[in-house]
Amino acid sequence: MKVIKNFLFWFILCNSFLLSINKVRGGSQCDCHAEFTWIKNTFEKNDAGFEYILKEKGQQAYDLHTDEIMKMAKAAKNKADCINLIYKWFKFFRKGHLGIVDLKKETEPVQVVEPDENKIRKHERLTLKEKELNRLIDKESEPSPIGIWESAPYKVGIVPTDSGYTGIVLDAPETPWNKGQVKFKLYKNGENYRATIWMRNFNARENVSVEFIGNNMIHINGMAFFVRKSKSFKDTPLVKSYINYLYSRGPYFEQISDKTVYVRIPSFDMSNKRSIDSVLRVNHEKIIRTPNLIIDLRNNGGGSDDAYSSLIPYLYTNPIRTVGLELLSTELNNAALLALSRDTLYDEKSRKEFKDIYDNLNLNLGKYVRVKENIISIDSMDRILPFPQKVAILINEYCGSTTEQFLLEAKQSAKVKLYGKST
């Protein structure tokens, strides 16, 4: 059973992370010292990799790092600062697979942390007259950044400046931004562009990569997608397809040609399993009669191993080997298995296996417990489908977690090749 065999336990550290929020002038406050103390103690007791990192880096290095964060936590004034500090502390252990979730439910809306009035007042402005902007837009016969662009709630006018191009706020409802303030700057960097962009709180992010997607979309990496709202320029069918493929919200299928079919899966979240299975089931006959299959997993951050189980038959050629794992048994960690055993997104057999693991873990509190008896699991299937003959899987640097587990299995197939950037 793939769900259990490949179960990757993501300990979302802050299952109980409640920041004390007070409505005060200037933003939300919290007792960051108390919150960080809870995080530290909970992590030390429950994280399966804690002892390993401690041995690798040493107790002294850990104590120095923790003392530094503890001192900073005492001075933190709001929730955002506190969360940033805790992420900094996390990086001592690993780069990812750690999250902070604020589960406190407010009876009243929580005031968003806003920049102070002095910061807003001093922020750079450029006078942008509507007639002048329209004149610049009308003059453009070839695509350029000049124009009106939108990334809700921000609408900006982009105009040429000495350093490149500047995005000036035209409208930003329900934000502290005012018309005429500089939202971002684009500047040449070799053949490409980089950006300085100011966030909602007017803090700057510098040297951010910029991607022009066709003629009518600008991606300021990790920050925003701006779509052209003024006179647009025609995109090629290939660019239109690229935008549809990469930014789709759910799984879908397309017959690209008589020799190639395409399946897009933006997430392996368990809530998407039924949609994934449905898309594959409806198009099963087309897939098994077509020589080439493209599986597009770009930007797929993972989810549950069970969500990809219906893909395996299309790429299977030989027994799939998977390295087993051990779970650290603690009351908090084990509770996650109990929750999975009650999650109706999983079938009855899977829920029973989760419950069996939960029971075994509870008998071995404080120990590392192997999920399966064998260190290496080998899965075989009864048949190899003659079609598809070749399977291309598209990946990029935003793929992670369960998606990488799927790739470890997929790479063992003689049909499969991976294309793109390393995950």
- Letter string b/e over residues 255-267, b meaning 16 or more CB atoms within 10 A of that residue's CB: eeeeebbbbbbbb
Residue type, 204: A
Residue with tokens 């020589």: 291
- 327 membership: H or E segment, kind and range: strand 326-328
DSSP states of 69-81: HHHHHHH--SHHH
Overall residue count recorded for the chain in this entry: 423
Please give the average pLDDT of every successive group of 10 residues along the chain, which has 423 residues: 41 35 40 91 93 95 96 85 88 81 53 65 88 90 92 93 93 90 93 90 89 91 85 88 78 94 94 94 98 95 92 96 90 91 87 91 93 86 96 93 95 97 92
Backbone angles phi, psi at 41, to 5 degrees: -65, -40
Q: How far is CA 316 from the centre of its chain?
A: 28
Which pLDDT score, from 0 to 100, does residue 201 have? Answer: 84
Backbone angles phi, psi at 34, to 5 degrees: -70, -40
Which pLDDT score, from 0 to 100, does residue 102 have? Answer: 67
How confident is the model over 298-336, as pLDDT tens digits?
A: 989 898 899 999 999 999 999 999 888 889 999 999 998
- The 8-class DSSP code of residue 250 comes to S
Considering the four listed CATH numbers 3.40.50.40, 3.30.2390.10, 3.90.226.10, 3.40.190.290, the one that applies to the domain covering 240-325+371-420 is 3.90.226.10
Backbone angles phi, psi at 201, to 5 degrees: -90, 10
Tokens of 84: 């940033």
User: What count of other Cβ atoms lies within 10 Å of the Cβ of residue 37?
Assistant: 13
Q: Quote the pTM value.
A: 0.68
Which pLDDT score, from 0 to 100, does residue 330 have? Answer: 94
Q: Where in the chain is the domain with CATH 3.90.226.10?
A: 240-325+371-420
Is the distance from CB of 123 to CB of 198 less than 8 angstroms?
yes
Which pLDDT score, from 0 to 100, does residue 7 have? Answer: 42
Which residues, 6 or more positions from 80, have their beta carbon under 8 angstroms from its beta carbon? 113, 201
Which pLDDT score, from 0 to 100, does residue 373 have? Answer: 79
